[in-house]
Amino acid sequence: MTHVWVPQSSETVEPEGDQTTGGPGSIWGEHITALHDLFWASRCVQVVRPGRSGTVERHGPALYLLVGESQLVHFSLGAALKRLHWASPRLLRLRIVVHEPIDYTEHIER
């Protein structure tokens, strides 16, 4: 199952100042996008966002995930890795399409 979350314009997406400090939009002292990127880094996948420079580890990541500036994605790598293993392509383009409607919403009443 694929989960894609794109924050609405009224939501705070970018932290003010350092991305690793606590504040609005942070969990355990990390901004939500930093936690997302660390989640993928734990699976040897480096998240690449437009307009952001990043460091590449000495041995480098196994895969790169190109996402939008404020996108957060979660999906199983199994099918993509199987295709990478058997076909040995230099580049694999995986398009994430969400067909199911969002069935959970919250409304704040004053």
The rounded distance, in Å, linking the Cα atoms of 98 and 2 is 7
Contact 12, 24 (CB under 8 A): yes
Domain for residue 85, yes or no? yes
Domain for residue 89, yes or no? yes
- What's the mean pLDDT when you consider all of the chain? 73
Domain for residue 98, yes or no? yes
Strands (E) across the chain are located at 3-5, 26-27, 30-31, 45-48, 63-66, 72-74
Which pTM was predicted?
Answer: 0.57
Domain for residue 55, yes or no? yes
Structural domain boundaries enclosing 30: 23-102
Contact 65, 54 (CB under 8 A): no
Domain for residue 12, yes or no? no
Domain for residue 13, yes or no? no
> How many domains is the chain built from?
1
- The answer to whether the Cα torsion of 29, 39, 6, 18 is positive or negative is positive
Domain for residue 81, yes or no? yes
pLDDT digits (tens, 9 = 90+) for 63-90: 888 888 888 888 888 877 787 777 777 7
pLDDT digits (tens, 9 = 90+) for 38-59: 999 888 888 988 887 777 667 7
Domain for residue 82, yes or no? yes
